[in-house]
Amino acid sequence: MTPPAPATGADADAEPTAPPARGLSPAVVWLLSVTCGLAVANVYYSQPLLDLIARDYGIAPAAIGLVGTFTQAGYALGLLLLVPLGDHVDRRALTTAQLALSVLALTVVAAAPSAPLLLAAMAAVGVLAVVAQVVVAHSASLAAPGDQGRVVGTVTGGIVVGILLARTVAGTIGDLAGWRAVYLASAVATGAMAFAVAAALPPERRGPGGRIRYLRLVGSVFTLFAAERVLRVRAVLALLTFTSVTVLLTPMVLPLAAPPFELSHTQIGLFGLAGAAGALGAGRAGRQADRGRGRAERTAGIGLSAMLAAWLPAALLPHSVWWLVLAVVVIDYGLQSVHVINQHLLYQVRPEARSRLTAGYMLLYSVGCGAGAIASTAVYDHGGWTAVCLLGAATSLAALLHWLTARRG
């Protein structure tokens, strides 16, 4: 990796970062992990509930993927407009404000009387869910030297558990009390987490420095894309890997809820428990990242290979649901390994721009998730589960080839 370049342009005007952190206690690391999990779960609650939402509003099955697409579009907007603020303002204040506003957006989702209002509220939920990325960047800044990979891995592990358990929680509550109750319960939990974070984290102190204008701050996200090859490489990996996973997870409710399986939403939600093994991939990847670039890249290569291999058992779903369970475990393990390595390598580039590097990287992640959500449901409607598996395998193969090409470069 090339050494960090001197700050220029927008970075030169930004406030200096806080003095080196002394480290985080295990309790605070786990609090940040849970905060990320709860925040990002809001983006994924809808996946096992798509048929219920479609029935409630009269949305055609081929178009119900718009719920996920609107949420991911909001997430992308939040990455661009909110996450860069983490390099400029107190991240604790930014985190608590986003959590508080999320409570309002989730309440609107639960009460939405029409599909247009639902989609608008889902977009707002997506915008505010980027608080998870503010927290990840903040945890990297607070981590002690030599411990950054482990801390980022633990906090990112909370994200993957949140993503996967979102399906379990949503499926169970959806069966018991309807899909709207899922978002009401999340509003209560998110409000409690806002108070906990405000109490546990100290205000962030920054050294004296010039103020960078907001529009210039946002624009510097694109400047970093032009300046940093590692950001370009890792962001494209994020786009391809998260597209692949979304292609698997978004439409699987459709064959599982239909004959011959006819699983309940609670049963479908249990697939999230299987995928929670991906958190193990995040923790292992974080430890490997702390041991050097070579081990980090090997871990990423193994993860990408696992994601490609996962599509073989996924294609065997018509024979048994246990093949799909295996596919979810393998693909999530691979995804989280790659994701943690990507973030760790990004945070080595420009410590003063961690939030903006995160914003640029996750911007393409969000594009991938949104594209995967709408493409997978449309492909399933026209070609069934086999077509979904072919699309996902092609995307995973493209990610592996991109990584190999970038390493040679």
Q: Return the domain boundaries, the chain.
A: 23-204+216-408
If 0-12 CB within 10 Å is exposed, 13-18 middle and 19+ buried, where does residue 15 land? middle
Q: What is the topology classification, in CATH, of domain 23-204+216-408?
A: Growth Hormone; Chain: A; (1.20.1250)
SS3 31: helix
Cβ neighbour number for residue 257 with a 10 Å cutoff: 18
- Exposed/middle/buried for 399, CB within 10 Å: 0-12, 13-18, 19+? buried
| pTM metric for this prediction | 0.74
Is residue 216 within 8 Å of residue 10, measured between CB atoms? yes
Q: What is the model's pLDDT at position 257?
A: 84
- pLDDT tens for 78-130 read 988 999 988 888 888 999 999 999 999 999 999 999 888 999 999 999 999 99
Identify which has the larger pLDDT, 5 or 261.
261
Q: What is the DSSP string of 40-54?
A: HHHHHTTGGGHHHHH
Express as a percent the part of the chain with pLDDT over 70: 87
Position 244 confidence tier, pLDDT thresholds 50, 70, 90 = very high
Q: What is the C-alpha to C-alpha distance for residues 142 and 158, in angstroms, rounded to an integer?
A: 17
* pLDDT at 204 (0 to 100): 66
Q: Quick check: 26 pLDDT over 70? A: yes
Q: Residue 196: which of 86, 35, 25, 36 has the closest Cα?
A: 35
Average pLDDT in the chain: 84
State the CB neighbour count (10 A cutoff) for residue 404: 12
* pLDDT value at residue 277: 64
Across 278-303, average pLDDT: 73
Q: For 384-403, what is the mean pLDDT?
A: 96
The contacts of residue 371 (CB under 8 Å, 6+ apart) are 243, 246
For residue range 41-87, list pLDDT tens digits in order: 998 888 778 878 888 888 776 677 788 778 888 988 898 899 998 88
Q: In this predicted structure, which of 36-40, 174-178, 369-373 has the lowest mean pLDDT?
A: 369-373
Tens digit of pLDDT for each residue in 205-234?
Answer: 654 444 578 888 889 889 999 899 999 999
Q: What is the pLDDT of residue 237?
A: 95
Tell me the pLDDT tens digit for each residue of 164-177.
788 788 888 988 89
Can you give the pLDDT at residue 292?
67
